[in-house]
Amino acid sequence: MNTAIANPGAQMTVRGIHKRFGAFTALDDVSLDVAAGELVCLLGPSGCGKTTLLRCIAGLERQDRGTLYIGDRDISTLPPQARDYGILFQSYALFPNLTVEANIAYGLTGSGREETRERVAQMLELVGLVGSEKKFPGQLSGGQQQRVALARALAPAPSLLLLDEPMSALDARVREHLCTELRQLQRQLGITTLMVTHNQDEAMLMADRIAVMNNGKVEQYATPQDIYDKPATPFVAEFVGQGNWLPFRRSSTSHAQVGALHMRLAPDAGSADRGRLFCRPEAISVNPPVHEENLFAAQVREITFLGNRCRMSFELNDLPGHALTAEVAPESMPRLGSQSIWVALPPRSLQVFA
């Protein structure tokens, strides 16, 4: 048996994957390249195709057309047991009548008793559950059960790890802690990992790159920072994080007309002549201490305290009926002074969508 924790990460290649269920197209020409040792998140709403893609890679669903490679090996038509991956489900999928050590050892067929015992001990140490080998899943917390499921997935030393909403059944605090631990472990092992999630915070926290999916297609495949700062489509802009939208028409190469207002645009804002301007709430300056471009008078409508920040809803005086949102630090609130404020929408923060 391979005594390594996991095989060296292998590149995974997804090319032109199509999958239909009757008249419904679940995957529409999906292609991805996942580098060796990389953690990629498939992010999107329910029904977008992310789980179907994971199941096609695992061999649990057969794609209608397209190819799948792990390294140089074509796995497109191989049965699941021949594809060399470990998989972790949101439901843990542990055997309730088996002990922790028996659950972890379940996939170690063909190994001797002593090898299996050593491997189970190694896995328990890896996931921080030494001393729990004789317990049953029902005696463990949700987080501990997920650690056992992870240990079982890693025990055969796969070259690819597939994670299907692995944290969705856990409460927020445990989920964040396990996300951090899993990311550290994945980096330590260097195992190529593909993770399905609908939780943007999980994706931002864990991923090297994110594939944002919608209606069976990948709308953007990029780093978390680029997904957030430079969304490629309106769907990505709306699905990841919060945003403000304003209707516009271009009045010159560098300016947009928004109602009665003129706003300067950055050179890389986009080329559309009309459509919508997009701006993140935290990019808006409220009562800036020095003059900034695109500075407008506004009226505060509502302020919500969110602990480490405050969310403020406001309307521009010369653009009534269009509620916008800004996020500011709590210590900035006293200097707002009244319902009448000035806000700046910096040109670098405005993005154009047709």
pLDDT digits 0-9 by tens, 166-181 = 877 677 777 788 888 8
Q: What is the pLDDT of residues 71-126, one digit of tens each?
A: 999 999 999 999 999 998 887 789 999 999 999 998 787 778 889 999 999 999 98
Structure tokens belonging to residue 43: 């992010």
According to CATH, the topology of domain 242-353 is OB fold (Dihydrolipoamide Acetyltransferase, E2P) (2.40.50)
Reported as a single tens digit per residue, the pLDDT across 34-75 is 999 999 999 999 999 999 999 999 999 999 999 999 999 999
φ, ψ of residue 53 in degrees (nearest 5): -65, -45
Ranges of CATH 2.40.50.100 domains, the chain: 242-353
> Span 291-312, mean pLDDT?
90
Q: In which residue ranges of the chain is CATH 3.40.50.300 found?
A: 12-237
Give helix 113-126 / helix 142-154 axis angle, nearest 10°.
130
Q: What is the pLDDT of residue 322?
A: 92
CATH superfamily of 12-237: P-loop containing nucleotide triphosphate hydrolases (3.40.50.300)
Q: Are 142 and 169 in contact (CB under 8 A)?
A: yes
Q: What is the pLDDT of residue 327?
A: 92
3-class SS of residue 16: strand
Phi, psi of 179 (to 5 degrees): -60, -45
